[in-house]
């Protein structure tokens, strides 16, 4: 699996954050704490990076991704009761739109941390 070691590190840092805070906070709190953990571990990342979205070659708006880690992994955070198919579909569209090979969808809102690896099937 491509970038397995890096995705496992990010998931581990998210587990640490969830283990300390538990569920119940707003997404931005988890985002700030995960940024602290990744910074402490020396990972390169951009937070809240605004990216243009194109339709048929025309710029139709922007979307901010929660994290780009080491320029290879997109990380989208949620703080909801349970991940649903719509959240997974959204994350899949983001990795496609950003032309990333892999992304992580992480949910801090459940009693146990939830995460999904998302692959861009349009990149061979």
Q: Stretch 36-46: mean pLDDT, rounded?
A: 96
Tell me the pLDDT tens digit for each residue of 60-98.
Answer: 999 888 999 999 999 999 999 999 999 999 999 889 888
Provide the mean pLDDT of the chain: 93
Predicted TM-score (pTM) of this structure: 0.92
Distance separating alpha carbons of residues 29 and 17, to the nearest angstrom: 10
> Domain segments of the chain: what residues?
4-119
CB 27 within 8 A of CB 76: no
Q: What pLDDT is recorded for position 51?
A: 83
- DSSP readout, 17-44? HHHHH-S-S-HHHHHHHHHHHHHHTT--
The answer as to CATH 3.90.320.10 being correct for domain 4-119 is: yes
Q: What pLDDT is recorded for position 89?
A: 92
Distance separating alpha carbons of residues 25 and 9, to the nearest angstrom: 22
Structure tokens at 94: 């983001």
């Amino acid at each position: 699996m491509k970038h397995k070691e890096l995705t496992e590190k990010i998931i581990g840092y998210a587990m640490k954050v969830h283990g300390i805070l538990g569920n119940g906070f707003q997404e931005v709190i988890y985002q700030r704490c995960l940024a602290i953990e990744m910074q402490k571990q020396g990972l390169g990342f951009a937070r809240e990076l605004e990216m243009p979205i194109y339709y048929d070659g025309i710029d139709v708006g922007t979307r901010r991704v929660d994290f780009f880690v080491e320029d290879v992994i997109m990380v989208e955070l949620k703080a909801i009761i349970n991940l649903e198919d719509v959240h997974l579909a959204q994350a899949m569209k983001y990795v496609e739109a950003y032309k990333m090979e892999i992304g992580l969808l992480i949910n801090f809102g459940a009693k146990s941390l939830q995460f999904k690896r998302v692959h861009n099937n349009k990149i061979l």
